[in-house]
């Protein structure tokens, strides 16, 4: 069968200069993970052209929301606490619109790090703006950029029987009491989970690490999953994380 086309929304590279001279960016690790799982990554340019975006969206079999800067708190009705980094309103508008459209259409959607936060906001949830100041005693979730990107930071507990558990290949009781090692590069997290979604993984400090639609959601058959860690970095060396992308691509084929 032909490779399913997976849309990856790009974002502005943080360089000085006129807005029209900024570069659009996407980390190669996301593209490699999609291709290795059998998909064809298609970069979606962050441009203010609805017709062009609509044409590209029509080519997609799935949507991948990737990591990056913080979501503007105004998107979820909160005041700015002063600890947000690399906020890009244009990217917020672009990705929130794509996410809401994909959810409405039942398009498979996989969301990573910032992506799971965008997914939660798109569905009506809120965010923790800064874990260290808002969640005393939390683990170190924002690990040093000098460490290898696949470096394990902590473990997460996965809900048995969840879509995440099935995607990881450890369904049912295999996850009872199990700790899944993950990397971590974020200082924000999900606060209030959007209506119709449930937590499918969490860290030992209570920080939400994954969400998915609840079993009684209005579109339970659509494949939607968001994780707070970076499986695209772990997939080349961790077969368990590679299964996440294979599960996503398999659904997009159908």
Per annotation, catalytic residue among 150, 209, 212, 232:
232
d(CA 196, CA 245): 23
Residues with Cβ within 8 Å of residue 21, at least 6 apart in sequence: none
Residues with Cβ within 8 Å of residue 187, at least 6 apart in sequence: 83, 85, 130, 131, 132, 141, 142
Q: How many whole angstroms from its chain centre is CA 28?
A: 16
Is residue 134 among the annotated active site residues?
no
Is residue 113 among the annotated active site residues?
yes
Q: How far is CA 58 from CA 104, 152, 203, in A?
A: 14, 37, 37
Taken as a whole, the chain contains a residue count of 254
Per annotation, catalytic residue among 66, 113, 186, 212:
113
Q: How many whole angstroms from its chain centre is CA 173?
A: 26
Is residue 135 among the annotated active site residues?
no
DSSP of 120-157: HHHTT--EES-HHHHSTT----B--TTS-TT---EEEE
Task: Return the active site residues.
Answer: 113, 230, 232
């Amino acid at each position: 069968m032909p490779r399913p086309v997976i849309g990856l929304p790009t974002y502005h590279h943080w360089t000085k200069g006129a807005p029209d001279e900024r570069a659009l960016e996407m980390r190669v690790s996301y593209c490699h993970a999609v291709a290795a799982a059998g998909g064809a990554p298609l970069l979606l340019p962050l441009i203010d052209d609805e017709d062009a975006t609509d044409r590209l969206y029509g080519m997609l079999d799935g949507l991948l929301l990737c990591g990056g800067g913080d979501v503007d708190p105004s998107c979820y009705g909160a005041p700015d606490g002063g600890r947000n980094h690399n906020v890009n309103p244009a990217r917020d508008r672009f990705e929130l619109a794509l996410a809401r459209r994909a959810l409405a259409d039942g398009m498979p959607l996989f969301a990573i790090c910032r992506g799971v936060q965008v997914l939660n906001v798109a569905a009506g949830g809120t965010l923790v703006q800064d874990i260290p100041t808002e969640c005393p005693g939390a683990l170190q979730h924002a690990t040093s950029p000098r460490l290898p990107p696949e470096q394990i930071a902590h473990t997460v507990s996965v809900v048995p029987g969840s879509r995440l558990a099935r995607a990881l290949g450890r369904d049912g009781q295999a996850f009872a009491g199990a700790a899944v090692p993950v990397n971590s590069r974020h200082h924000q997290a999900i606060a209030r989970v959007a209506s119709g979604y449930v937590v499918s993984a969490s860290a030992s400090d209570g920080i939400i690490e994954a969400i998915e639609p609840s079993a009684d959601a209005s579109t339970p058959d659509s494949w939607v999953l968001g994780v707070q860690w970076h499986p695209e970095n772990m997939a080349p060396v961790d077969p368990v994380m590679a299964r996440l992308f294979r599960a996503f691509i398999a659904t997009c084929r159908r």
